Amino acid sequence: MNERLGTTFNKDNILVTHGSQQGLDLSGKVFLDDGDIVPCESPTYLAAISAFKSYGCSFIEIPTDENGMNMEALEEVLNSTENVKLIYVIPTFQNPTGKTWNLERPKKLTELSAKYNVAVVEDNPYNEFRFERETLPSIKSFDTAGNILCTGSFLIFCPGFQIGWITGDKDIIRKYVLVKQGTDLQCNTIAQMTIAEYLKRYDIDKHIRKIVKVYKKRRDITIKCMEHYFPDNIEFTRPEGGLFTWIELPEEISAREILSKCLERKITFVPCGSFFPNRNRENTFRINYSNMPEDRIDLGNCDWNIYGRFYYFSGFIGYLLLAYYLVKYPLNWS
């Protein structure tokens, strides 16, 4: 793990959690009280918003571009806002956008965290699912003040085990341990033993290479289809790894409406309005390509434009596209 994250942890720096989501919930319990403020990317992970919100905090969305969170905007907030107790970021293959920070911003965030003495939770569950280029060092690897926590999970082993981890300075992790005792006593020991035994007996890197190949292929098909079929007014990210791509429709089109049309055809995705903690942007949604067999991503058997307009769609992208037209030109479709 140290090798993957560029860190030097020992066992006092790590707590095994009930999935990386528990790392977020415990972070809320350790750091947040009523009235506290959490700066985060805009948009950010929906279930982190729920986890933190339950401790009474509110959020300031920091503008975020292709290279990550805007550090000038963050510093302005840190400079002018009381009660900032935690900064929450997902620097690698972000959920929901699939975007990845560049190398400079993690360094700058570490500086700001030290300067303003604010904890950072770096949520990093998708780190190993990289399809191209080199793995970047974690934000935690630049930390000298001991303010940065990093969470992740054993998603790379197999989903459903709900075994994750949070790492950080040993005095902070000690607090997490105490708080976790009141929450659930311990994690599933049998699941931990299973994973430990797997790691001992088999080559996890080989396993990762295998699933990365599958996910990469699905991403490639998804992106290719979207490039080919989507109208110009639909924008989307081209992630270098992870599980998601993020789609922006023209502002007047609601992803929820598109979803309701897709659901009639048993196709689903996540509309992302609620990934913006303060103001919903309902024209956005997230596609998870990792869980979709290749032959269901495409348009399938499509009698394309047979009567001078779209006639028959199938497949994931096909239904999305159909739904888009059903919403955009409601009178032209039956």
- Give me the residues that bind its own copies (CB under 8 A), please: 18-19, 21-22, 25, 29, 34, 47, 50-51, 53-54, 159-163, 179, 181-191
Pick between residue 44 and residue 222 the one whose CB is nearest to its own copies. 44
Least gap, CB of 43 to its own copies (angstroms): 17
- Torsion, CA 278, CA 282, CA 283, CA 288, rounded to 10: 90
Q: Are strands 64-65 and 148-153 parallel, antiparallel or unpaired?
A: unpaired
Least gap, CB of 12 to its own copies (angstroms): 21
Least gap, CB of 177 to its own copies (angstroms): 12
Q: Rounded to an integer, what distance in angstroms lies between the CA atom of residue 296 and that of residue 319?
A: 10
Pick between residue 190 and residue 331 the one whose CB is nearest to its own copies. 190
- Burial grade of 242 (CB within 10 A; 0-12, 13-18, 19 or more): buried
Report yes or no: 62 and 94 within 8 Å, Cβ to Cβ.
Answer: no
Pick between residue 193 and residue 263 the one whose CB is nearest to its own copies. 193
Pick between residue 55 and residue 129 the one whose CB is nearest to its own copies. 55
Q: Rounded to an integer, what distance in angstroms lies between the CA atom of residue 231 and that of residue 59?
A: 34
Least gap, CB of 114 to its own copies (angstroms): 28
Question: What is the chain's alpha carbon radius of gyration, rounded to the nearest angstrom?
Answer: 21
Report yes or no: 272 and 96 within 8 Å, Cβ to Cβ.
Answer: yes
Least gap, CB of 166 to its own copies (angstroms): 13
Pick between residue 7 and residue 20 the one whose CB is nearest to its own copies. 20
